[in-house]
Structure 1
């Protein structure tokens, strides 16, 4: 807490980013605002309009499943995700935690910006073997026909 009321602001903004990407409107305001004022649009706080709603299945895993690990991605990968592409191992810089195929991980940029959440096609150990690698090399090393670390259908980008 401070004189200027910035205590926990990073947490508030991270939660706001996640909520609006899931189609949920958010108001950050001071204690002087009542819920009635906010519902009537008379808030003195800041209103964050939600993004287009996600498919129900994406909302469910984004909100309900606890992440089992963290994957750090480069800026090129983040731009690709924002354009609706899948996450490829070529854009992964670091993997933390221990997770299996099909488990949820949280994605961060190298700068620590929350980028998204997704269900992995590979375990943490498999991903560590193919960090920065491209398509055919990933398939050869992991003896699989998949090259996406996280397919776009199993990904929520914040």
Structure 2
């Protein structure tokens, strides 16, 4: 649901279940458990509370619902988890009534192409980069060059979306590649001016241009 919300440029994602929202404890076992009406940031404490809050409807319980909320809010979509058995719950939520737990978006709305890349629905492969490339992408907001690529996984074409991971395998960005997996296997680790010599052609010095890249 979070991926679909990203792709269709939704303003609001409603996740309806059999419990009133996210609680401070399991309300079935703790009568003093309180509903959390609003969450600004989904951190480790919120994830812990989700693991303690039961939900029988849907897949993965409350933990999966909060994970979906985390993905959606990171792309600029507000999320509400509420009891679907409430009368006229959808109309009331759309009208702005405070029902359930509202998760506020944590960033400005990303452009449609960026949300599409973040969704992971069209990801074709993975590029593993060195620490210098991680620094360039995250802190210096630069494009990904061949010199910073250590390995390539999967088969993909020029124009496909790929994940960009650090040496430990953690995804730190994704983007649209200017080169195929076959090309990158040849040019990885090489300086940009050598691309034409190695391949016999080139599509520019950037493997993933900054304008086509999203840092996670």
Is this a same-fold pair by TM over 0.5? Answer: yes
In structure 1, the residue matched to 2:126 is: 70
Describe the shift of the 1:116–1:21 C-alpha distance in structure 2 as closer, same or farther (beyond 3 A): farther
1:70-95 deviations in whole A, cap 9, x for unaligned? 11112221222223211111111110
In structure 2, the residue matched to 1:117 is: 174
Taking the aligned partners of 1:118 and 1:112, their CA distance within structure 2 comes to 16
Structure 1 portions without partners, runs of 5+:
none
Taking the aligned partners of 2:73 and 2:191, their CA distance within structure 1 comes to 33
Contact 2:128–2:150, Cα closer than 8 Å, also in 1 = yes
Taking the aligned partners of 1:57 and 1:20, their CA distance within structure 2 comes to 16
Describe the shift of the 1:34–1:67 C-alpha distance in structure 2 as closer, same or farther (beyond 3 A): same
Equivalent residue for 2:202, pick from 116, 121, 144: 144
1:26-84 deviations in whole A, cap 9, x for unaligned? 68x9xxx7588xx84975x9x67522332223223443751111111122212222232
Calculate the aligned-residue CA RMSD, in Å. Answer: 3.5
Describe the shift of the 1:68–1:140 C-alpha distance in structure 2 as closer, same or farther (beyond 3 A): same
Q: Give the ranges of 4+ consecutive aligned residues of structure 1 lying more than 4 Å apart after TM superposition.
A: 6-9, 12-15, 33-36
Of residues 94-103 and 50-59 in structure 1, the stretch that sits farther from structure 2 once superposed is 50-59
In the TM superposition, residue 129 of structure 1 has moved relative to its aligned partner by 0.7
State the TM-score, normalizing by the size of structure 2.
0.54
